[in-house]
Structure formats: C-alpha cells, structure tokens
C-alpha cells in the first residue's frame, strides 16, 4: 500500500508541475502618445481642462534577467612561424632494376634492338595510308610502346625495355595484317 501512495503523490506532483507551466513575463505595453490638444479659440475663454491622466507605470519584471558572463578565450601565444628550409634539389628516386649478368644483359639488348627495328619497319608501312579507327589506335599504341622502351633504355632497364619493344613489335605485326586484308 505504501508504494501506491508514493506513486500517487509523484503523479500528482508531475501533473501540478506540468499544469503550472513556466512563469511568463508580463508583456511590456508602450504608453500611447498623448493626443495633441486643439488650440483654444480667441473669442471663447479658455476652459480649464483637467490634465490627461498619466498612464500607470507598467510593472517591471520582479526578477532581472541575469546576464551570462562569457569568459573571453585566452589569447593564443604568438608562435613564430618556422623559417622554411631551402628545398633540396629534386632528385628522382632511384630505379629498381634487376641485376643482370653481362650475358643476360647483352641478350636483352640484342632482343630489344631487334624488336624496336621490326616495329619501326612495320609502322612505316602505315605511313601515307588512310587508316580506320582501329588501325589509328594501333599506331598510337605502337608509338607509345616505342617511346617507353627508349626511356627504359636510357634508364638502363633492359628488362622493361625489352618487354615494351616486344609489345610494340607484336602490335605492329597486327597492324600490317590489317593493312593487307581487304577492308
């Protein structure tokens, strides 16, 4: 029975608090401006008119609204900017290439040069001819592989140079076949 009584009291308090709501401030009503009095006519004696009733001062809120004091953020200490160090000259990262025996390197050089020569010879057959879109695409790919292979030769990466030259040669053979077949 004790639990029911406590629950009933809590329920009544909650309802009373909800029904009361928040305290509202009385609206501040501005006093109307007094109407201008007409000027008395000179022929009639001025009758004394009672002064207009002064409006009742409105009640100021009983509790002043507290102003929140916001603490100013602490000023950040001046940090001197670090002086930029002079940039080191841009050195390209070293190329990682497999270590080849002199015999293997000589073989790759020979194969690379043969593949480059064959691809260039086959590519020359397309000069001056009208190419369709596929053939034009093949020519661009062959030229790209040839340029990349020459870059690899400059970097002394014979494995990559050989692979790229061989790709250019294979595509050039395909280009020659497409040029010979009736379109």
Task: Extract the tokens encoding 117.
Answer: 């020569």
Full-model pTM: 0.48
pLDDT number for residue 1: 65
Q: HEC states along the chain? A: CHHHHHHHHHHHHHHHHHHHCCCCCCCCCCCCCCCCCCCCCCCCCCCCCCCCCCCCCCCCCCCCCCCCCCCCCCCCCCCCCCCCCCCCCCCCCCCCCCCCCHHHHHHHHHHHHHHHHHHHHHHHCCCCCCCCHHHHHHHHHHHHHHHHHHHHHHCCCHHHHHHHHHHHHHHHHHHHHHHHCCC
Domains assigned to the chain: 102-180 (1.20.1270)
Q: How many Cβ atoms sit within 10 Å of the Cβ of residue 69?
A: 6
- Residue 137's region, left for phi above 0, alpha for psi from -120 to 50, else beta, is alpha
pLDDT number for residue 138: 94
The dihedrals phi and psi of 182, each to the nearest 5 degrees, come to -65, 140
> Average pLDDT for residues 75-92, to the nearest whole number?
71
pLDDT number for residue 119: 96
pLDDT number for residue 78: 73
- Residue 148: which of 134, 137, 163 has the closest Cα? 163
Q: How many Cβ atoms sit within 10 Å of the Cβ of residue 136?
A: 13
pLDDT number for residue 66: 62
CB 104 within 8 A of CB 162: no
The string of pLDDT tens digits covering residues 116-173 is 999 999 999 988 888 899 999 999 999 999 999 999 999 999 999 999 999 999 999 9
The string of pLDDT tens digits covering residues 15-30 is 777 777 666 676 666 6
């Amino acid at each position: 029975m004790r639990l029911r009584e406590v629950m009933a009291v809590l329920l009544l308090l909650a309802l009373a608090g909800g029904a009361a709501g928040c305290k509202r401030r009385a609206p501040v009503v501005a006093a109307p401006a007094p109407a201008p009095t007409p000027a008395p006519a000179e022929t009639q004696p001025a009758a004394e008119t009672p002064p207009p009733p002064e409006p009742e001062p409105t009640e100021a809120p009983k509790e002043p609204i507290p102003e929140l004091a916001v603490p100013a953020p602490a000023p950040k200490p001046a940090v001197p900017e670090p002086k930029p160090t002079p940039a080191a000259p841009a050195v390209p990262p070293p190329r990682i290439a497999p270590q080849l025996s002199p015999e293997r390197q000589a073989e790759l050089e020979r194969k690379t040069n043969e593949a480059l020569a064959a691809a260039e010879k086959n590519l020359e057959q397309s000069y001056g001819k009208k190419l369709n879109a596929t053939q034009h695409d093949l020519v661009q790919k062959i030229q790209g592989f040839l340029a990349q292979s020459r870059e690899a030769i400059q970097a002394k990466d014979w494995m990559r140079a050989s692979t790229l030259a061989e790709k250019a040669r294979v595509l050039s053979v395909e280009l020659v076949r497409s040029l010979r077949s009736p379109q």
